[in-house]
Amino acid sequence: MGRKIPGRKHKGVKDPVIQKAVREQKLKTKINAPPTDPNEQETPKSLENLIRLKQIAKNTQFKKKKRSRNKLVDTSKFNRREFRLPGMKKPDKTLPSLNQWQGETDETFLKRIDEATQNLINEVEFEEQFGVRVRHNSETGDVEEIEMAERDEIDLLMRNYNKEKKDNYKNKKKEKMLKKFQKNTKDVNSIGDASDNIALNSKQRRKMKALQKKQESVLENGEKIQFHDVIKFGEVVHQPPQITVRPKNANKIKKPGAKGDLLLEKMLGNNNKKNKYSSISPLQRQKQEQERNHIVELYRKIKSQNKRKLNIAL
C-alpha cells in the first residue's frame, strides 16, 4: 500500500455561481481580451522569444569539439593474421586498411568500411565463379592483373557435387510437373466421361476447360513444328515449287463439264448410259425420252426462278 495523500478539505458549502464568476474574472484579461490601445500593436510572445534566443546565440561563443588524432580509427590495427590449418593451400586475401579522416563522422566512416567489405565479397565470388585470382597493388590497392588460379581437389569435388545437385533438382522438378499434368489429364477424362450423367461443379468445369485449352495448345505447337520449313541462310526463292508428279493417295480432280459430272446425269441416274439403248425396246426408249424432256423443263424452270430472285434482290 502506498502513502495516503490527504484530500482537499472543503470548509462550508461554496456557491458554484460565485465560483464561476471568480474564475471568469481571473481569465478575463488573458483569453480573448481586446487590445488596451487600438493604435498600438504589441509584439507576439513567440517573436519576443525568438529575438531573445538570437541575442543569446550572438553573445555566447560555442567551442567546436575537435577529435584528437589518437582517437581516430585505423582498421590496420585490427587486421591480425589467422592461424592456418593443414590442407589450407589458398593464400589469405589482403584486407584493405582504412583510416578515419580528420573531421569524418563515425557514420560516414562505417559506410566506407561497409562498401569496402562488399567489394571484397564480390571479388571473392567472382574468383570462385570463373576460377581466377585478382592481384592488387600493395600501395595503391588498384587491380594489377587477373590470372588463372590453380584448382584444388576440394574445389573440383565441390563443383561436381553442386552440379549434380542442381541437375537432380531440375530432373525431380520435371518429373513432378509431368506427373501432375498426367494426373490432371486423367481427372479431366474421368470428369468428361461422367459429365453425361453427373452435373459438374463450377470448379470442375473450369479445371476441365483449362486443361483442354492446354492440350490444344500443345497439339498446335506440335503441328507448327511439324509443318515448319527450315530455310538456310542466303537461300533465295523466285517462284513457288512446280509439282510435276501426282501423289499416290491424291484424288483425281474432275474438270467441270466432263463426262459423269453434269447435274442432269446425276438426276437421271444410270438410265442415260448408251450401252443400254441397244437392248431397249422402242417403247421403253420413248418413255425415257419423255422423262428426260420433263426433267429438262423442270431444270429450266428452277434456273429461271433463281434468276428472278437475283433480280429482285438487286
Out of 109, 127, 150, a domain closes at 150
pLDDT over threshold 60, residue 196: no
Please tell me whether residues 162 and 219 are part of one structural domain.
yes
Residue with more model confidence, 105 or 232 = 105
Please tell me whether residues 179 and 138 are part of one structural domain.
no
Please tell me whether residues 218 and 196 are part of one structural domain.
yes
| Residue 11 forms part of a structural domain | no
| Residue 286 forms part of a structural domain | yes
| Residue 3 forms part of a structural domain | no
Out of 109, 124, 150, a domain closes at 150
Burial class (CB in 10 A: 0-12, 13-18, 19+), 38: exposed
198, amino acid identity: I
| Residue 270 forms part of a structural domain | yes
pLDDT value at position 136? 81
pLDDT over threshold 60, residue 195: no
Give the number of domains in the chain: 3
pLDDT over threshold 80, residue 163: yes
| Residue 9 forms part of a structural domain | no
pLDDT value at position 65? 66
pLDDT over threshold 90, residue 53: yes
| Residue 199 forms part of a structural domain | yes
Please tell me whether residues 206 and 179 are part of one structural domain.
yes
Of 55-64, 86-95, 114-123, 215-224, give the lowest mean pLDDT range: 215-224
Q: Given pLDDT bands bounded at 50, 70 and 90, which one contains residue 93?
A: confident
Please tell me whether residues 176 and 128 are part of one structural domain.
no
pLDDT average, residue stretch 258-283: 61
For residue 165, give its domain range. 157-226
pLDDT value at position 152? 73
Please tell me whether residues 170 and 139 are part of one structural domain.
no
Please tell me whether residues 178 and 128 are part of one structural domain.
no
Out of 150, 169, 189, a domain closes at 150
Of 43-52, 105-114, 193-202, give the lowest mean pLDDT range: 193-202
Percentage of the chain beyond pLDDT 70 is 75
pLDDT digits (tens, 9 = 90+) for 215-225: 777 667 666 66
Please tell me whether residues 123 and 177 are part of one structural domain.
no
Q: For all residues of the chain together, what is the average pLDDT? A: 77
| Residue 111 forms part of a structural domain | yes
pLDDT over threshold 60, residue 192: no
Please tell me whether residues 140 and 166 are part of one structural domain.
no
pLDDT over threshold 90, residue 91: no
Q: Given pLDDT bands bounded at 50, 70 and 90, which one contains residue 68?
A: low
| Residue 49 forms part of a structural domain | no
pLDDT value at position 31? 77
Q: What is the largest CA-CA distance in the chain?
A: 154
